[in-house]
Amino acid sequence: MIELLPVDDAEPAFVHSPLLKGALLTLEYIETNGPIGLTPSKALKRYFVEWAAEAFAWPQYTAEELYYLNKVLNEADFVPLFMLHDLLISLKLVRHQKGAMHVTKLGKQLRYHPGALWAVLAKRIFGGFDATPYARYEVPFVGNWDVYLNVINVEAHMGCTDDHLCEVLFGSIRGQHGLAHANLKSAFYVHCLRSLVWLGLLHETTTGEALRRERIFSKTPLWLAALWLETDPLVLARQVH
């Protein structure tokens, strides 16, 4: 069972959540500067994408890294912003009107309550939010957040790789299942692990290069502050021993 614990607005662990930071900065931008212009396809206009790339300083998507790959920045080039835009719309924190994105009454309220804002973002993601549009290629994946979070709660307590999680959860072994394992791991990252990193619940580090590259995941202080899970007693038992 996934249970979100109430977290105080001043919780220091929120520093680990780039998704919360991006949401707060976007809502603040609209209230300070007015509605954000939209393209005919309802994407955020470049002037805001460029501002957000600098202001968000999103890990692995900094302005420097984005401009290294793109001469100009469109919303689709800044994947976290692309996803954040859809989240804010689906949660009715912003709305599209007359060619621009406006903040709603609810968005104005939650801007001043980071704990509540983080909770609604997390509940939306755990409630079946589809991450497929934010992948470089289609990676369909059917998963169960309840199972994933409870397993990660135990396995990543001292840090572990995504290869290890795929072996525990799916019986897929890197050295035995080749391309099928690589595809499964990619899908699991897009639909689960990346969202947990962006929510600020997991910390991701990368070691090695090319085929030797490994992602290592560990729980952040926000995981401990915001989640209550059925496997918590197992984690406590491991700590005792």
Q: What is the pLDDT of residues 154-166, one digit of tens each?
A: 999 999 999 999 9
Task: State yes or no: pLDDT of 211 exceeds 70.
Answer: no
Please state which of the four CATH numbers 3.30.1360, 1.10.3470, 2.60.40, 1.10.10 is assigned to the domain occupying 145-240. 1.10.10
Nearest to 76 by CA among 104, 102, 110, 53: 53
pLDDT at 131 over 90: no
The pLDDT of residue 28: 98
* Span 107-129, pLDDT tens digits: 999 999 999 999 999 999 999 88
Please, what is the average pLDDT of the chain?
92
> pLDDT class for 1, splitting at 50, 70, 90?
low
Q: Are 27 and 111 in contact (CB under 8 A)?
A: yes
Say whether pLDDT at 22 is over 90: yes
What is d(CA 180, CA 134) in angstroms, rounded to the nearest whole number?
Answer: 21
CA quadruple 83, 86, 91, 95: dihedral, nearest 10: 140
The secondary structure of 88-120 as a DSSP string is HHHTTSEEEETTEEEE-HHHHHHTT-HHHHHHH
pLDDT digits (tens, 9 = 90+) for 171-199: 988 777 778 888 888 889 999 999 999 99
pLDDT at residue 32 greater than cutoff 90: yes
Distance CA 116, CA 122 (A): 10
| 67-96 confidence digits (pLDDT tens) | 999 999 999 999 999 999 999 999 999 999
pLDDT at 4 over 70: yes
Distance CA 95, CA 110 (A): 15
Question: How far is it, in rounded angstroms, from Cα 160 to Cα 202?
Answer: 11
Residue indicated by tokens 């072994």? 173
Identify the burial level of 168 via C-beta atoms within 10 angstroms of its C-beta, where 0-12 means exposed, 13-18 middle and 19 or more buried: middle
